[in-house]
Amino acid sequence: MKTNTIPLVYACSGCSSAAQLANHLALKLDRTGIAEMSCIAGVGGGVPGLVRTAQSGRPILALDGCIMHCVAACLARAGVEPDSHLTLSAFGVKKQRHTDFDVEQAAQLWPWVEAAAREINQVGLAQATSPDMQPDQATTNSARVRSSSDNCSASPACNGPTPSGVPV
């Protein structure tokens, strides 16, 4: 049986434009094979199989549309912290009701989201294949929140500065 090692991505999928933008970006990660999208509603609802997937130790990218951080809250309820957590409103995405997300803004954010997924995938692969690591250590170390001491100020994968071209 093949073990899936690509990161999991969980996205806000609410009714606002910001939520649907997060969902769109997560679907794109899934469809391109960069990450596997899983169901955050199932994690938040305590569905056993979906909670087990979230707790599997695979690297996790959480995409929240706004500062309510529903994805992070659902993961926390299951005892899981994402390896990378992007909040789209921090990149200038406006939360609007009864309207679709901005396709141009999605294109501008894609490189940042893609980089975040690829970065945690590399970290997860390194941990899983480290000869000095005990078997349970890879699982323990892979689900963590990026600390402020991580040197990521220049990385698009961080909750850092707004990408150029995205209105603030």
pLDDT score of 168 more than 70: no
Helix (H) or strand (E) holding 8: strand 8-11
Q: Could you tell me if residue 96 is inside a domain?
A: yes
pLDDT for res 131: 45
Q: Return the minimum-mean-pLDDT range out of 9-23, 45-59, 120-134, 152-166.
A: 152-166
Q: Which residue has the tokens 């926390």?
A: 76
For residue 85, give the 3-state DSSP assignment: strand
Q: Could you tell me if residue 139 is inside a domain?
A: no
pLDDT for res 93: 98
Q: How many CA atoms within 13 Å lie on the side-chain side of 131?
A: 0
Per the structure, the complete domain to which residue 39 belongs is given by 8-130
153 φψ region: left (φ > 0), alpha (ψ -120 to 50), beta (else)? alpha
**Angle at alpha carbon of residue 75, lines to 161 and 23, rounded to 5°:** 60
Number of domains in the chain: 1
101-109 average pLDDT score: 98
Per the document, the length of the chain is: 168
For the beta carbon of residue 165, count every other beta carbon within 10 angstroms.
11
Q: Could you tell me if residue 45 is inside a domain?
A: yes
**Beta strands 8-11 and 36-37: pairing type?**
parallel
Q: Could you tell me if residue 152 is inside a domain?
A: no
Q: Could you tell me if residue 151 is inside a domain?
A: no
pLDDT score of 155 more than 60: no
CA–CA separation, 110 and 108 (whole Å): 6
Q: Could you tell me if residue 2 is inside a domain?
A: no
Q: Could you tell me if residue 56 is inside a domain?
A: yes
CA–CA separation, 36 and 103 (whole Å): 22
pLDDT score of 45 more than 70: yes
Q: Yes or no: say if 21 and 105 are a contact pair by the CB < 8 Å rule.
A: yes
Q: What is the pLDDT of residues 8-28, one digit of tens each?
A: 999 999 999 999 999 999 999
